[in-house]
Amino acid sequence: MPSFDTVLEPDMVAIKHAVDNAKKEIGTRFDFKGTSAAAELKEKEKEIQLVGDSDFQIEQVSTVLVGKLTKQGVTINYLDMSAKLEKIGGDKVRQTWKIKAGIESDLAKKIVAGVKNSKLKVQASIQGDTVRITGKNRDDLQTAIALLKKDFSDQPLKYENFRD
């Protein structure tokens, strides 16, 4: 039976390049000279840390980083930017952005429910942090992909492992 996997997986290489480019720009910009402004990627923890002297400077660093991520083709929806600013030694502040990887269980349940409610002749099952969708023919699967793109346009879902 034909099937495909729905995944939420960011391109970590592109994110790494964007953070490196942002570091270069922060290092050369006049308004960041002599400050603690920085952006750092922690690949194992899947997070980006922004450091600055004030919340305004964190805002400036985040603007630079978002611009670089956009140039690399990384969707900003992969980032959870809701973390609060935290004070670290002296007058420095830090903000940590989490990088979303893998479909969370509540989103996976919504995807499965959306596929079932669509009355398409396909089945959806949660397999760890992916959702596998199977059907009898290829056309139904392509219709399911179109449905998911429309219903979950705010999520950067990818469709991989298409098998006949």
164 residues of the chain, pLDDT tens digit each: 888 988 988 889 999 999 999 999 999 989 888 888 999 999 888 999 999 998 889 999 999 999 999 999 888 888 888 888 888 878 889 999 999 888 888 889 999 998 888 888 899 899 888 999 998 888 888 899 999 999 888 888 888 888 87
Closest CA to 41 of 15, 67, 66: 15
In angstroms, the Cα distances linking 155 to 40, 60, 76 are 24, 26, 10
Per the structure block, which two tokens stand in for 130?
């992916």
**What is the phi/psi pair of residue 122, to 5°?**
-135, 155
What does the pLDDT read at residue 98?
92
The rounded distance, in Å, linking the Cα atoms of 98 and 94 is: 13
Q: What pLDDT is stored for residue 137 in this prediction?
A: 87
CA distance 153 to 7: 14
Q: Kindly state the tokens that stand for 15.
A: 């994110």
Domains recognised in the chain with CATH numbers: 3-9+102-163 (3.30.70.860), 12-99 (3.30.70.990)
- How far from each other are the two terminal CA atoms of the chain, in whole angstroms? 6
CA atoms within 13 A on the CB side of 67: 11
Handedness of CA 71, 60, 42, 28 (dihedral sign): positive
Residue 24's pLDDT is 93
Residue 137's nearest CA partner among 163, 118, 111 is: 163
